[in-house]
Amino acid sequence: MAKSYSLMIHGGAGALDKVKNLQDAAPCLRSIRRILERGQTILKRGGPALDAVETCASLLEDDPLFNAGRGSVLNEHGKVYMDAAIMDGVTLDAGAVAGINRIAHPIKLARLILEKSGHVMLIGDGALRLARRHKMKMVPESYHITEQRLEEYKKIRQKQRGKMDALSEKKHGTIGAVAMDKKGNLAAATSTGGIPYKKEGRVGDSPIIGAGIYADNSLCAISATGHGEMFMRTVLAKHIADLIAFRKMDVESAARSGIAYLKRKVNSRGGVIVIDKKGRYAACFNTRTMVRGWIARNGEIHCAYL
Amino acid sequence: MAKSYSLMIHGGAGALDKVKNLQDAAPCLRSIRRILERGQTILKRGGPALDAVETCASLLEDDPLFNAGRGSVLNEHGKVYMDAAIMDGVTLDAGAVAGINRIAHPIKLARLILEKSGHVMLIGDGALRLARRHKMKMVPESYHITEQRLEEYKKIRQKQRGKMDALSEKKHGTIGAVAMDKKGNLAAATSTGGIPYKKEGRVGDSPIIGAGIYADNSLCAISATGHGEMFMRTVLAKHIADLIAFRKMDVESAARSGIAYLKRKVNSRGGVIVIDKKGRYAACFNTRTMVRGWIARNGEIHCAYL
């Protein structure tokens, strides 16, 4: 039997919690399906997992429905600042970027950092400098800001002035992708605009290796989504990887155990997608919804949000 | 018997690798001893571990011998940009700051972020904004730059022009502190100027929860030092905590196992200090030296670098 491949992507936990019927979730699910097809094309022809997760993440960044790249939520000053990371399970090489704007695809900058910087994480202007040196396409700040996010921002600001808790308001998920290619190599990618009305300079879990993302060929590839601070405090992606490493858990139990730990330790909600070294996949979340999609053993694409 | 306390601090792994005799190491060791005494005063009178590690870290930041705060190494443009983090083992609350200057004590800003920001990590101008709002003392950029670091920077720049590998040149360790107070609460702190001649915007492991720092009352408190990128890729602090959690290792074995994992997975060198929930401590490193000090059961202060 030809060696198989595996791919799973998500568009955020909790983002569709207020959706009442399938029809309202349909645009997100259609987008997830279309993006999985693109990732499948790469993996089917024997392309690397790292390329598959980068491509899927960059397409999710393109879609304004998701809180990453175009369509990112706005911070307290009405600005977009994005974080992203990519990790190669073969070598544990990783690239992460935080607090950037004017880059159409933060995940591509994360990949550039992985390959060309000699560092793991670059932030702000330093990251943009590397992007420019490598002729990465820059876009105006307005490119990332959609009409809808601006409306939401204005509503939160109004409530903020009335001292209501804005952060508990509108939730939009981070995006992520995990893959195993035909060679059995694993990779993971995450990208996000963060949380709405976040303070200037806030960095969440998405670009933090071990918190929002992790990949190790000998264990698994993970992408997380939820209240970033809670994933950072619990170092949740590494926690799940260590459940597989030290407790010999299967991928499903490890994902479930990880989300239970998130609830128990810091009383929080979120979700994870995980693929192990055999290509077995699991999605687990304790929000009402998590938009996600995966490719089954027979090559069929599946999408779900409940 | 009155409940005991525990404290261990370090001034970097590898920093004194070229030191030939005790006399040359003496200034660092004297400083470590003096700072431990200050930390001991806090813990002896029943003060919290969090205060003890913050105080020790801020005193290490003051001392230009160590690569944190004043005496930080310079980046590729001859500028100081610092990272720091602090973590409370009671709640898993954490505060981290990256890419800042003009703050005399980055560790105090990390503590402010832990307590006042609602976030875990703030970077650059956003972090400085919080500092200003809380009337934190600002210093001119020149405050952090010592004559010696400037000399070293110039030497590296010269070599860079001749295409020699500058990063392998002069090593200066991150600083860190871990403590258990009389109530049995754990805390950890790290602070650094990063690696010499680092690229603009580079962030290392020191402010990354799970990489350079971790604290959980039920397990241990950890501070790491070495080539930051390698600690990020291996998520080493969380790895060691999970060896204690899942493999039931004692603190000494976990520290040793962690450093062996660092060597095996990414072929790197560095060191860690760890205190477990019973106050047992361990320091482990695979560099030739690590400047460190601790308080023994009988209250005596010990310092070492080999």
Bridge partners of A290, per DSSP, are A13
Catalytic residue among B174, B234, B287, B289: B174
B211·A209 Cβ contact <8 A: yes
B213 occurs within a structural domain: yes
Length of chain A equals: 306
B224 at the A interface (CB within 8 A)? no
Question: Minimal CA–CA distance to B292: which of B67, B54, B32, B63?
Answer: B32
Residue A48 has pLDDT above 70, yes or no: yes
B202·A126 Cβ contact <8 A: yes
pLDDT at B239: 98
Residues in Cβ contact with B65 at an 8 Å cutoff, skipping those fewer than 6 apart: B11, B27, B28, B31, B71
The total number of structural domains in chain B stands at: 1
Instruction: For residue B240, give Cα distances in angstroms to A213, B257, B274, B292.
Output: 18, 8, 9, 19
To the nearest 5 percent, what fractions of chain A are helix, strand and coil? 35, 25, 40
* Residue A289 bears catalytic tag: no
Count CB-CB contacts under 10 A for residue B110.
Answer: 34
Q: pLDDT class for B20, splitting at 50, 70, 90?
A: confident
Sign of CA dihedral A149, A151, A153, A159: negative
B257 occurs within a structural domain: yes
pLDDT at A24: 86
Q: Comparing B19 with B116, which gets the higher pLDDT? A: B116
Residue A10 has pLDDT above 90, yes or no: yes
Q: What is the pLDDT of residues B239-259, one digit of tens each?
A: 999 999 999 999 999 999 999
A273 occurs within a structural domain: yes
Q: How far is CA B13 from the centre of its chain?
A: 10
Contacts of B94 in chain A (CB under 8 A): 232-233
Residue A213 has pLDDT above 60, yes or no: yes
pLDDT at B24: 86
CB A138 within 8 A of CB B215: no
CB A101 within 8 A of CB A141: yes
Q: How many whole angstroms separate alpha carbon A38 and alpha carbon A184? A: 19
What is this model's ipTM? Answer: 0.95
CB B100 within 8 A of CB B81: yes
Written as six digits, the tokens of A254 are 């490890």
Domain containing A17 equals 6-297+300-304
A179 occurs within a structural domain: yes
Query: How is B44-86 classified by DSSP, letter by letter?
Result: HTT--HHHHHHHHHHHHHH-TTSSSSTTPPP-TTS---EEEEE
B38 occurs within a structural domain: yes
Contacts of A228 in chain B (CB under 8 A): 120
Residue A280 has pLDDT above 60, yes or no: yes
Question: Minimal CA–CA distance to B159: which of B119, B115, B197?
Answer: B197
Q: How many whole angstroms separate alpha carbon A291 and alpha carbon B161? A: 51
A1 occurs within a structural domain: no
CATH of the domain at B224: 3.60.20.30
User: Which of A103, A125, A208, A234 is the best substitution to test chain B (most B C-beta atoms within 10 A)?
Assistant: A208
Strands (E) in B135-277, as ranges, are 175-180, 186-192, 202-203, 213-216, 220-226, 270-276
Q: How many whole angstroms separate alpha carbon B235 and alpha carbon B257? A: 14
- Tell me the nearest-neighbour CA distance from B16 into chain A, angstroms: 24
**What average pLDDT does range A58-77 have in this prediction?**
95
Residue B2 has pLDDT above 90, yes or no: no
B246 occurs within a structural domain: yes
B79 at the A interface (CB within 8 A)? no
Beta strands across the sheet bearing B220-226: B213-216, B220-226, B270-276, B281-285
B1 occurs within a structural domain: no
